[in-house]
Amino acid sequence: MHLDQGENVLLTISLVTLFSLALLLGSGVWIAFALLGTGWIALSLFAPLGPGPILASDFWGASYGWDLTALPMFVWMGEILFRSGLANNMFQALAPWLGRIPGRLLHSNIIGSGLFAAVCGSSAATCATVGKMTLPELESRGYDEKLAIGTLASASTLGLLIPPSIMMIVYGVVTEQSISRLFIAGVGPGILLLGLFMAYVMGWSLLVGNRLGRCGQNEARIPLGEKLRGSLQLLPLLALIGGILGSIYGGLASPTEAAASGVVLSMIIARANGHFDGTIFRDSLFAAVRTSCMIAFIIAGASFLSSAMSFTQLPMNLAESIGAMGLSPAMLLVVLTLFLLVLGCFLDGISLILLVTSIIMPVIESAGFDLIWFGIYLVIVVEMSQITPPVGFNLFVIQGLTGKDIMSITRATIPFFLLMIVAIVLMSMFPGIATYLPQAMNS
């Protein structure tokens, strides 16, 4: 097949960019440096402008945005709650209510991860905190270990989707979408995934688990009054979730203001819970600074790569080429999902989002996708990458908790991986799952 000159140039730029990125990532350098280096090479070889001034401008532009201020605040809030003992109170409050549902306490992984994710925003922190408490308890009560691991690894990824979400802040900043709308858009898909996970556990328990005796023993009946008193331990958590989301949805506070308020409230909750002192304050602050600086550095590198790609006109030409192929939006989504799942095997979530937004956003816009909807779709794909080897971070967290090998943990997550694909299909068929609340918020 004969290629014209324009196609040859496009192919050359694509190959050089991909080879440079793969070489830098494979060499073990920081991801931010890999993105910077790839952008520098692309500008030096294929653009008329020097990379130095563009680098300086992009680094400044990517670092001073007010919306980005919410990022370290939510990270710090999650670090405080991670150390606060809140997860233990949450388990004690939930357990009495789950004893009569098929699957019983296996649902504590799912509901507990969903609740903790709503105030933490970190998949790994949710997995570690909830897992330290639930896995030994479930094992001692005779629950299926494979399903206990699968529910924990998968449900803890909801920390990326249920607001406040670090991934949504990153996506909103780089694509200039409303972070408030992204937060609210994540509620529906988050509830959908929780429902799918719980339905699978109930179905497995009724069809397989009860017959094999792997669903624990019938719990002793607890008086209603005692259940209600135990549930009081959930009130601080629910108040924090409701305060953050309610203030954003009601227009009372921006995400940044809600995040700052969340930090103060999390300190009060941790102090009331007896797990907050000078050491925890210092450790949580330093951990939040390290994480936030890492993310901000990657955002700056991705911003520079995005500018470099714009100057080489690769994204625009790529969008035109894909448009000329005549792919329907549904087929484009299928191809894109497969492509992102492969990338997700080798890149962490933030890097995946920034790389995608740097290169293929013109393709997405030309295909007519709602960018809020696409942001939620992208976060779900990132969730899937959290439970796929070799860099699925939740797999490593659970390996540290259980001592199991990575492949056995991966096999335990396969049903939930497939349920995430089902969620994407349902979102494609019924976009209102993600877009209804943001549209209602605007009206």
What pLDDT, on a 0 to 100 scale, did the predictor assign at position 345?
A: 65
Cβ partners under 8 Å of residue 163, min gap 6: 118, 121, 182, 183, 184, 186, 187, 244, 245, 248
What pLDDT, on a 0 to 100 scale, did the predictor assign at position 87?
A: 65
Query: Does residue 166 contact residue 71 with C-beta atoms inside 8 Å?
Result: yes
SS3 category, 48: coil
State pTM to two decimals: 0.74
pLDDT digits (tens, 9 = 90+) for 22-55: 788 777 777 778 888 888 888 888 877 778 888 8
Q: Cβ-count burial of 383 within 10 angstroms (0-12 exposed, 13-18 middle, 19+ buried)?
A: buried
What pLDDT, on a 0 to 100 scale, did the predictor assign at position 423?
A: 94
Q: Comparing C-alpha atoms, which of 251, 248, 287, 304 is closest to residue 81?
A: 287
Cis bond before residue 390 (omega within 30° of 0): yes
* CA–CA dist 4, 250 (Å, integer): 55
In this structure, how many other beta carbons lie within 10 angstroms of the beta carbon of residue 199?
Answer: 13
In single-letter form, the type of residue at position 259 comes to A
Give the side-chain half-sphere CA count within 13 A for 50: 3
What pLDDT, on a 0 to 100 scale, did the predictor assign at position 1?
A: 45
In this structure, how many other beta carbons lie within 10 angstroms of the beta carbon of residue 268?
Answer: 13
Q: Comparing C-alpha atoms, which of 390, 417, 392, 409 is closest to residue 148?
A: 409
Q: Which residues of the chain have pLDDT under 50?
A: 1-2
Q: How far lies 42's CA from each of 45, 46, 51, 59, 164, in Å? A: 5, 6, 9, 17, 35
* Alpha-carbon 432 to chain mean position: 20
Q: How far lies 83's CA from each of 121, 130, 231, 283, in Å? A: 14, 12, 21, 9
Residues pairing with 143 in the sheet:
215
* CA–CA dist 410, 389 (Å, integer): 7
What pLDDT, on a 0 to 100 scale, did the predictor assign at position 193?
A: 93
Q: Which residue has the tokens 């484009």?
A: 332
What pLDDT, on a 0 to 100 scale, did the predictor assign at position 220?
A: 64
What pLDDT, on a 0 to 100 scale, did the predictor assign at position 348?
A: 64
